[in-house]
Amino acid sequence: MMFTVIQRCESFHQKCKIEYESETSRSKWHIILIGIMGFITIVMLPLSGWFAVKKLKKNENIVVRRLGTVRVEKKPGFIFLLPFLDDWHRIYRRTQSLKIPSFQVPTKEGMLIVKAEVVYKIYNPVTFVMAVKNLTSFIQIEAERQMMRMFQKKLFIDLVFEEQNIKEKMLAHLQKQANRWGVHVSKIHMGFEPLRENRKYQAESPSQPEESSNFIWAEDSCGMKNEEPNGDKSRKCISSPCYITIMALAIILLIVTFPISIWFLLKRVKKHEGIVIHRLGRMLGAKGPRWIILVPIIDKLQRVDLWIQPLTVPSIKVTTKDGIHMLCHINIKYEIENPVWCAKTMNFAKYLESRVLSGVVKLIKVKNADELHRQHENIEDDLLIYLKTITTSWRLQIHQVEIDYQPVLKESNLIECSGSRIAFENEEDSPPTLPSPVSSPGVSEHKKTDHFISIESVMEDLVYTVGLCFQFEITSPGKPSKKYFLDLTKGNGNAGEGCPNSTPDVILELSEDSLRRMLTGDLSLYTAFLTEKIHISGDISDAVKLYQVFRLFFVHFPNLILSYIYRNIF
């Protein structure tokens, strides 16, 4: 046992001796190489000064690797490097932005094109130089892995509404990974849109702008780089002498025809208007608002209106969650921020319409008819957010979205219905429940007289606010239909059984059960109309005012009126 320990100690001692001798010999060779390169650098002065002297600016570090050793230069000034021996990297300590090339991510509906820009700062230059060769590829790989986990089980419209949560999760994940590289990620900007596989559809869609104020995209909206074919490059090189010759001839023509040529030479660009100039097949960019100079015959002018413009989307028929068909009319107000983008796009309005229609279908098909009525403004806001997310990369600003719903009814449901819009009022405050019909034979005549005086005062208010005549046709299985009327056109109003003296403005046909449910608040007038439990003849907008009558009577006489109607009708 003792002999084994002594052998191990001797082997360890020999190993340490060999390492010490190798380090000593290495240090000797280092000194020799450094001395030779320093001598060569001095001899080659001042030519070698271009390679040996580097200037270190403020907020910069230089990481120098010399024969396996690493050092960091932090102080601003001039530093001395040895050519061929020193491998140096300049590191910027300021906050920088890195644009990640677009990549595809699968979702539940299909593929998405994702573009991102990361704002970062290097806090450990040595770790960054030793660990990272290509920061762009590293961040892109991490972003793709994380997005595949988050996107693969979600719909596109869900991603639009959860965009802020997605950004926060992505930022937390990238911060965790980048800390190992000596990098701190402070912010991330993201944009995504569905992949368009149809080439014809892709040609009609708007192309990506060249610049953006908040987020710079170097690729078009499909995620494909704007590369020029080889044939176009060779043609461009061949046509450059022709371009110069034509320009010279045009300028000579302008000088010869002066001052008549001034009329064609100067053009005025008005406020809120942009002009895009095409010269011999090349786009020179947008100009205005100011006076601009054109070359006649060569320059082609294209004016772009930058005011807020309306866009009426074709009506679309959508089925709600409860099976009711709704005809949706959508109006949009938008503003073009980049005239060059508009000039490059063949028909951006058609592509915008398709986006609007797809968003409306996804929003409405998951809601009931009553939810559409109550959450009308929320649905418009959701569609506005959805469109802004898509059109941000187009430099197109969406200002307002208006949606009108109109139920699609069968011919039997509406006999003579006029009016193009259904605008039922808010029915959130449903009437109180129906009390049990209790006869009260002992009620004094004085109390009855008080009730009738109150009813007359309420009827006067209804005549002033409503001013319509209603006729009700109550049907019941196995019994003849009964007719009642409510005349609120003159005087204190009139109500009773039978037909009114004047022509009714609205005729409502419904069953006893539907009327009972409407009176008790179990069935709203809006739902009854859409589900064909009530048939209306006349102006639908006038029929809506019947709800005001019910609500006012319920507020003032809940027990008297309901029990009276219950006894006489049912």
Distance CA 209, CA 274 (A): 15
Which residues have CB under 8 Å from 58's CB, separation 6+?
76
Q: In the structure, what pLDDT confidence band is assigned to residue 210 with cuts at 50, 70 and 90?
A: very low
Same domain, 451 and 515: yes
At 75 the pLDDT is: 67
Q: What is the mean pLDDT of the chain?
A: 68
Distance CA 46, CA 52 (A): 10
At 431 the pLDDT is: 40
- Nearest Cα to 359, choosing from 333, 380, 345, 335? 380
- Considering the domain boundaries, does residue 353 fall inside one? yes
**DSSP label of 207:** P
Report the 3 state secondary structure along 327-363: EEEEEEEEEECCHHHHHHCCCHHHHHHHHHHHHHHHH
- State residue 169 phi and psi, 5-degree precision: -65, -40
Q: In the structure, what pLDDT confidence band is assigned to residue 477 with cuts at 50, 70 and 90?
A: confident
Q: In the structure, what pLDDT confidence band is assigned to residue 509 with cuts at 50, 70 and 90?
A: confident
Domain boundary among 160, 195, 230: 195
The CATH number of the domain holding residue 552 is 3.30.1050.10
Specify the 3-state DSSP secondary structure of 552.
helix
At 407 the pLDDT is: 72
Which residues have CB under 8 Å from 93's CB, separation 6+?
59, 60, 61, 121, 122, 123, 125
The answer to whether the beta carbons of residues 140 and 104 sit under 8 Å apart is: no
Same domain, 113 and 85: no
- Considering the domain boundaries, does residue 504 fall inside one? yes
Same domain, 438 and 561: yes
By the 10 Å C-beta count (0-12 exposed, 13-18 middle, 19+ buried), 486 is classed as: buried
Indicate the residue type of 359. Answer: G
Domain boundary among 92, 115, 139: 92
CA 402: distance to chain centroid?
16
* Most trustworthy range by pLDDT among 62-71, 261-270, 376-385, 514-523: 376-385
Give DSSP secondary structure letters for 123-176.
Answer: S-HHHHHHH-S-HHHHHHHHHHHHHHHHHTTS-HHHHHHTHHHHHHHHHHHHHH
Q: Which two tokens stand for residue 382?
A: 């959701």
Q: Which residue has the higher pLDDT, 540 or 3?
A: 540
At 65 the pLDDT is: 72
Q: Across residues 393-413, what is the average pLDDT?
A: 70
The CATH number of the domain holding residue 167 is 3.30.479.30
Angle 495-500-502 (CA atoms, 0-180°, nearest 5)?
125
Specify the 3-state DSSP secondary structure of 265.
helix
The answer to whether the beta carbons of residues 275 and 340 sit under 8 Å apart is: no
Whether the per-residue pLDDT at 54 is higher than 80: the answer is: no
Residue bearing tokens 């008005």: 270
Same domain, 75 and 104: no
Q: Structural domain tally of the chain? A: 5
Same domain, 548 and 435: yes
Q: Which residue has the higher pLDDT, 196 or 485?
A: 485
- Considering the domain boundaries, does residue 416 fall inside one? no
Whether the per-residue pLDDT at 277 is higher than 70: the answer is: yes
Q: In the structure, what pLDDT confidence band is assigned to residue 451 with cuts at 50, 70 and 90?
A: very low
Distance CA 393, CA 65 (A): 43
Residue bearing tokens 């950004």: 167
Q: In the structure, what pLDDT confidence band is assigned to residue 248 with cuts at 50, 70 and 90?
A: confident
pLDDT tens-digit series, residues 106-126: 777 677 788 888 888 888 877
Whether the per-residue pLDDT at 5 is higher than 50: the answer is: no
Q: Which residue has the higher pLDDT, 220 or 490?
A: 490
Whether the per-residue pLDDT at 99 is higher than 60: the answer is: yes
Q: In the structure, what pLDDT confidence band is assigned to residue 382 with cuts at 50, 70 and 90?
A: confident
- Considering the domain boundaries, does residue 230 fall inside one? no
Q: In the structure, what pLDDT confidence band is assigned to residue 73 with cuts at 50, 70 and 90?
A: low
Q: DSSP 3-state helix, strand, coil percentages of the chain (rounded to 5)?
A: 45, 30, 30
Which of 72-76, 133-137, 379-383 is least confident?
72-76
Strand order in the sheet with 325-336: 309-319, 325-336, 396-407
Residue bearing tokens 């029915």: 427
Query: Parallel, antiparallel, or unpaired: how do β-strands 96-106 and 183-194 relate?
Result: unpaired
Q: In the structure, what pLDDT confidence band is assigned to residue 550 with cuts at 50, 70 and 90?
A: low
Domain boundary among 50, 70, 92: 92
- Considering the domain boundaries, does residue 414 fall inside one? no
Same domain, 295 and 315: no
Query: Parallel, antiparallel, or unpaired: how do β-strands 479-487 and 469-476 relate?
Result: antiparallel
CA 432: distance to chain centroid?
42
At 556 the pLDDT is: 52
| Residue 286: strand pairing partners | 276
Same domain, 18 and 86: yes
Same domain, 509 and 541: yes
- Considering the domain boundaries, does residue 214 fall inside one? no
Q: Across residues 347-365, what is the average pLDDT?
A: 78
Q: In the structure, what pLDDT confidence band is assigned to residue 201 with cuts at 50, 70 and 90?
A: very low
Same domain, 153 and 77: no
| Integer CA distances (angstroms), 260 to 266, 291, 292, in order | 11, 17, 17
Give DSSP secondary structure letters for 422-465.
Answer: --PPP--SPPPPPPP----TT--HHHHHHHHHHHHHHHHHHHHH
Rg (CA), the chain: 40
Q: Which residue has the higher pLDDT, 566 or 185?
A: 185
Which of 88-97, 423-432, 550-559 is least confident?
423-432
Q: In the structure, what pLDDT confidence band is assigned to residue 478 with cuts at 50, 70 and 90?
A: confident
Same domain, 501 and 555: yes
At 144 the pLDDT is: 77
Whether the per-residue pLDDT at 160 is higher than 80: the answer is: no
Query: Parallel, antiparallel, or unpaired: how do β-strands 469-476 and 506-511 relate?
Result: parallel
- Nearest Cα to 394, choosing from 424, 351, 428, 441? 351
Model pTM score: 0.36
Whether the per-residue pLDDT at 411 is higher than 70: the answer is: no
Q: In the structure, what pLDDT confidence band is assigned to residue 416 with cuts at 50, 70 and 90?
A: very low
Neighbours of 144 (CB within 10 A): 15
Domain that holds residue 546: 430-569
Whether the per-residue pLDDT at 349 is higher than 70: the answer is: yes
- Considering the domain boundaries, does residue 105 fall inside one? yes
At 19 the pLDDT is: 46
Same domain, 497 and 371: no
Q: Across residues 271-296, what is the average pLDDT?
A: 71
Same domain, 437 and 558: yes
- Considering the domain boundaries, does residue 420 fall inside one? no
Whether the per-residue pLDDT at 204 is higher than 70: the answer is: no
